[in-house]
Chains A and B, each alone.
Chain A
């Protein structure tokens, strides 16, 4: 019989690392629809789940896949789907429902070039804002972005942990480059993988209010079939889960849905800072672009330029406190990204008045090279 967690050293594509990360995180329900460049995740899970006892369904579309993972999560099972741009657009409808009903689940969006069908087989980072704002209404979401197969494995597990902790859909924003790059992935022993599970009610059913939050603003979650007779809706609702379509109920609920993420920003945000102690120029990057960014900073340091790296591992909520802090020290933020300026504007907003922000845009299809980033660093350094 195949093992559940493949402890050891592997040479895996990013997509395989994500599938194995999900299995290691305890995901046992996967619903999806074929799409390039994400399909290998579903393919791998369809092969692995029968070995370990998970439910795999290839649905008729992404609308159904997203609805199904919400339903599955309501039984207490950890669930996931994976897709790319066009499918991610279809999923937005029920990502909103997941935010409203507060359902822990994970969505992998393997970014490709867009808009529309765009570049199915080539990379991009054009869905960053869509990950945050894609569904209608005001809500907060969590999104993480890996730069390698190893990080894809690790962050997939973290996505599940954050989803369970904060009762929110969490998005793993990867890209074609991560999906189809192979690299070393070390899978730790099972007892070294830290897993988080949603809070369960501590009161009997007659006292339980499904949307009454604890101090951390997250309500304990009773699941279907547990005798709690829960009711939930995409309508604005009160603590009982009953529809309450008044301005007062809206104010209370929507504030909490946003605040439960915002007040935990420092717990959720993960960044990696390198060479920042004396840096005058900071390259802010995420996903695969942080690899050429790292190389570019190394090249600049060799030239005696005081450059540093800020790699955003958490994309949403945005690391505004981090940018705010470094804006007082550096003169320039350089933001290379595979779009026409998305995270750039977030950085610029936080840097306002303290440091200048420069965008290195690429519309997708190919990576930004270390040399291109290095040249920009050199230009602003005046050397």
Chain B
């Protein structure tokens, strides 16, 4: 490097994405190699790309590593209870429909303790963008079995290997009626950003799963101990198959990881739209 950065002000120059970040809260709590940061980066870039007013963006999270994100981003952020991010977000969106309401949470939060809320929000077609950072494990609590842990894999509560059948979350979303379903990984930041932007331009229940490394609590127990081992697994095993049948995209050990924008349905009325139409009919205006 010919020019050393010596002056302090040079270090304090704003990154183009800094407006989305509560810089005073850095450093964050996430481990080296974690996929949550790149996912939030892709989300913020997508918001920029779509041109949404920052003051109208709401970020609701549940509990877990990913839950902390709502306090790091410079938007209205709600760090709620375990599994309840979706219904909390539904309350915000229905009461103030002009807001762009996003739920970004983990696989345990959205599909274990919050599974019932997920499928019912899909069914009602609540107008939310839900992003799941799926790291196959309970990271915050120290690496316990998740509803997404692949069969045979190790966690602190499956020390002899997982005997359960994991959720194929895009299939859950698709079968429950989500209007948009995609899966990317946190190393596919450009395609993820494009996918998020596409989803932000739609209305109804939109779901994007982001496969995300957890080197500390998943990788270490599954022969992927270095910070970039899981990212390398993603790079080597990913196969992009847009429009793939979601029933055939299960994640299995030593099988290709199928990524892509799987489902884009003709938009159907959201719960709010249905309610407004009903209101017109009841009031004799429709």
Contacts and interface: CB of A to CB of B under 8 A. Distances in A.
A60 interface: yes
A225 B76 contact: yes
A234 B117 contact: no
B78 A225 contact: no
Interface residues of A, number: 47
B282 A50 contact: yes
A75 B77 CA distance: 12
Interface string B56-93: 10101000000010110011111111011011111111
Contact of B76 (A57, A94, A224): A224
11 contacts: A28-B95, A50-B283, A57-B90, A64-B86, A65-B87, A70-B91, A71-B91, A72-B91, A225-B99, A227-B55, A231-B71
Given A77-B95, A225-B96, A232-B77, A71 B88 contact: yes
> Which 4 pairs across A and B sit closest by C-beta, in order of nearness?
A71-B91, A68-B91, A64-B87, A233-B79
* B interface secondary structure, majority: helix
A30 to B, nearest CB: 11
B91 A67 contact: yes
A242 B279 contact: no
Interface in A223-245: 224-235, 241-243
B120 interface: yes
B7 interface: no
Contact of B91 (A76, A79, A230, A235): A79
Q: Is the interface of A mostly helix, strand, loop or mixed?
A: mixed
B25 interface: yes
Interface string B223-237: 000000000000000
Nearest to B72: A231
A69 interface: yes
B12 interface: no
Between A93, A224, A242, the greatest number of chain B beta carbons within 10 A of the residue's beta carbon is seen for A224
B96 A63 contact: no
Given A55-B272, A67-B80, 13 more contacts: A31-B91, A51-B283, A55-B275, A60-B117, A71-B60, A71-B90, A71-B91, A94-B80, A224-B78, A231-B70, A231-B78, A234-B81, A242-B71
Interface residues of B, number: 45
A347 B79 CA distance: 39
Interface string B133-159: 000000000000000000000000000
B98 interface: yes
Residue among B80, B86, B272 with the highest chain A CB neighbour number at 10 A: B80
A94 B84 contact: yes
B79 A234 contact: yes
B95 A50 contact: no
Contact of A72 (B60, B76, B94, B282): B94
B94 to A, nearest CB: 5
A69 B94 CA distance: 10
Given A51-B283, A231-B70, A231-B76, A224 B91 contact: no
B36 to A, nearest CB: 16
A235 B67 CA distance: 11
B116 interface: yes
A68 B275 CA distance: 16
Contacts of A61: 116
Interface in A207-228: 224-228
A287 B73 CA distance: 47
A53 interface: yes
User: Which of A71, A75, A79, A94 has the most chain B CB within a 10 Å cutoff?
Assistant: A71
A264 to B, nearest CB: 27
Contacts of A93: 81, 84
A73 B91 CA distance: 8
Contact of B58 (A53, A224, A227, A228): A224
A79 B81 contact: no
Contacts of A227: 55
Nearest to B278: A50
A142 interface: no
A292 B248 CA distance: 66
Contacts of A79: 91, 95
A75 B283 contact: no
Contacts of B99: 75, 224-225
Given A230-B76, A230-B77, A60 B120 contact: yes
B264 to A, nearest CB: 26
B49 interface: no
